[in-house]
Amino acid sequence: MENSGQGKITAIVAYITIIGTIIAYFMNLEPKDRFASFHIRQAFGIHITFYLIGALMGLFDQGFIIAAFYLFFIVLWGYGLLMAIKGEEREVPILGPLFQKWFSTIS
């Protein structure tokens, strides 16, 4: 799928921290780009999941649980970023379909 240059740039920016996701959201206000909106929803979900689960991980003193969480996050983040760079609309594994449903108001 070939995407417009601005939509692709916006999609990539969305994966650069939660601030990048917010910037990408405002970049995509006018004109709206379907590809960028898809990746903004994915990136927003990844970042929110990171912060929510990260807060819960603070309750544990088990290094391997924390390491597994960070590995899971890095895999999701890397996969999403790679798909944005390649110009593809593929959901991140496991949580991607949920992110699209939960954040469907981001368009």
Residue 16 placed within a domain = yes
Could you read off the pLDDT tens digit of each residue along the chain, which spans 107 residues? 456 688 899 999 999 999 999 999 999 998 889 999 999 999 999 999 999 988 888 787 788 888 888 899 999 999 999 999 999 999 888 888 889 899 888 87
Tell me the whole-structure pTM to 2 decimals. 0.86
Residue 42 lies in a domain: yes
CA–CA gap between residue 10 and residue 102 (Å, rounded): 20
Alpha-helical (H) ranges within the chain are 5-14, 17-27, 34-57, 63-86, 96-102
Domain that holds residue 72: 5-102
Using alpha carbons only, what angle is made at residue 24 by residues 12 and 20, rounded to the nearest 5 degrees? 75
How far is Cα 41 from Cα 56, in angstroms, rounded to an integer? 23
> Is 107 inside a domain boundary?
no
Q: Is 34 helix (H, G, I), strand (E, B) or coil?
A: helix
- Does any domain span residue 59? yes
